[in-house]
Amino acid sequence: MNSLNKVIVDRAALAHNVAVCRRAAGEAELLAMVKADAYGHGMIETARVFSRQGVDAFGVAEAVEGVQLRQAGFTEPILIMAGVIPDTVAAIVEYNLTPVLVDDLTIAQLSFCSGKLGQVTPVYLKMDAGMGRQGFLPEELDRVLGTLENFSSLRLAGILAHFPGADDLANPGPPVVLETFRQTVERLRATLAPGVRFHIANSGGLFYLPGAVFDMVRPGIALYGYYPDGGDGSRTSLTDRLRPAMQYRSRVLQVRDVPGGYPLGYGHTFTTSRPSRIAVLPLGYEDGYSRGLSNRGKVLLRGCFAPVVGRVSMNLTLVDVTDIAGVQTGDQAVLMGTQGEKCITADDIAGWMGSISNEVLCLLGSLNNREYIN
């Protein structure tokens, strides 16, 4: 049976966004970030689209995600971005995943496991170029590179770093981070094997920071159709725009008329100022429609915006349809996406709930049934 709430993922939009990122990346290779269940779009289905578009590699956070990709048949390099602990080493080697090392705890064990299987496992080093979250400081790199040389079952595949705020040009962090990374590339490139890749650009680096594209780029949010600054892409020099790939739709469960001066829902956080017609939607924070959207969100009904009134509860949400003629039980409600001439984006929802599009996509995508089109 069909659920009333569903997320619709447009494969054509995903493919289009790969093409846009490719053009922005020029000669550099493209690694598609599919962590967090492909930002809520469904990791396996989404990776199939990206693979058909010829992406060069995948990025996930944890080894278990890499194993799922391998078990689904993907043969591209898969980088495990969030680091490795001893428990995951055996699976990483067995499934030919590429660990991104954030410390040297597992180097010996990785080499031992690979050697036992007669393999050479590619490894990346994560460098902390000023992000301040994970990785080796620039001055620690030489020591680790020296250590790696002692393990013949490991091969250095690359060195990567990450930006703290490539989406925010007013923030002086990224240029300093980029400069630190650039100096490291300059210093190490000549001393390392020719195939060793350097990369730092996420979506923000790719679209907004000149000079951030090295051997490979690692967009995430851009592949799903959103610019990391919450904008519409007009700040980039590119003419082709990203296209949001996810919509979220529901159906009206009930329409009811209530008097003026009537308080609505948990906590009575909204009181009608006039006799009102209220549509009840079968969704709430259990579906990823955040409680932060209480009295702030909007949805599309019959091509018009209807404001959320009262608290978003666990699985019911009220919207005011007094000014929209003809709303009835069973009508399609668009929480995110287009209806008629109007559109609600993940950036709109993020703005109402005080977050970023990434979180909106992860929440809605992972907590609802997904349907794929195109």
- Beta-sheet strands, E only, within the chain: 6-10, 29-33, 57-60, 78-80, 98-101, 121-126, 154-160, 197-199, 216-217, 246-251, 254-258, 263-264, 270-271, 276-281, 298-301, 304-307, 317-320, 332-339, 342-344, 369-373
- Least CB distance from residue 174 to ligand PLP, whole Å? 12
**Which lies closer to ligand PLP via its Cβ, residue 33 or residue 264?**
33
| 28 contacts 216 by C-beta, under 8 angstroms | yes
Given 126, 224, 248, 266, the catalytic residue: 266
C-beta of 204 vs 337, nearer to ligand PLP: 204
Closest contact distance (angstroms) between CB of 339 and ligand PLP is 27
Among 33, 92, 110, 353, contact with ligand PLP (rule: CB under 6 A): 33
Binding status of residue 34 toward ligand PLP by CB under 6 A:
no
**Binder among 7, 25, 30, 81 for ligand PLP (CB under 6 A):** 81
Do β-strands 246-251 and 57-60 pair in parallel, antiparallel, or remain unpaired? unpaired
Nearest Cα residue to 317 out of 356, 266, 258: 266
Q: Which stretch binds ligand PLP (CB under 6 A): 6-14, 212-220, 229-237, 340-348?
A: 212-220
Output the six-digit token pair for 204.
């923000």
Nearest to 155 by CA among 115, 185, 186: 115
Taking CB under 6 A as the criterion, the residue among 219, 225, 288, 365 binding ligand PLP is 219
Copy the structure tokens of residue 302.
Answer: 């019959």
Residue 218 C-beta: closest distance to ligand PLP, Å: 4
Residue from 63, 221, 353, 356 binding ligand PLP (CB under 6 A)? 221
Q: Does position 213 bind ligand PLP by CB under 6 A? A: no
Clarify whether 372 is annotated catalytic: no
Does 125 help bind ligand PLP (rule: CB under 6 A)?
A: no
Pick from 27, 18, 35, 24: which is nearest to 206 by CA?
A: 24
Interacting span for ligand PLP (CB under 6 A) from 50-58, 218-226, 241-249, 317-325: 218-226
Residue 266 annotated as catalytic: yes
> Does residue 228 belong to the site contacting ligand PLP (CB under 6 A)?
yes
- Closer to ligand PLP by Cβ: residue 60 or 308: 60
218 near ligand PLP, rule: CB under 6 A: yes
- Dist. CA 337–CA 101, nearest whole Å: 39
Rounded CA separation 40/359 (Å): 9
Q: Would you give the binding string for ligand PLP spanning residues 145-184, x where CB under 6 A is met?
A: -----------------x----------------------
Helix (H, G, I), strand (E, B) or coil at 83: coil
Q: Does 6 bind ligand PLP (CB under 6 A)?
A: no
User: Do residues 319 and 307 lie in contact, with contact meaning Cβ atoms separated by under 8 Å?
Assistant: yes
As a whole number of angstroms, the distance between CA 59 and CA 49 comes to 15
Tell whether residue 202 is a contact of ligand PLP (CB under 6 A): yes
CB nearer ligand PLP, residue 135 or residue 284 = 135
d(CA 291, CA 312): 5
In whole angstroms, the minimum distance from the beta carbon of 272 to ligand PLP comes to 41
Judged by DSSP in three states, 75 sits in coil
Minimum distance between the CB of residue 203 and ligand PLP, rounded to whole angstroms? Answer: 3
Catalytic residues: 35, 266
* Residues binding ligand PLP (CB under 6 A): 33, 35, 81, 162, 202-204, 218-222, 228
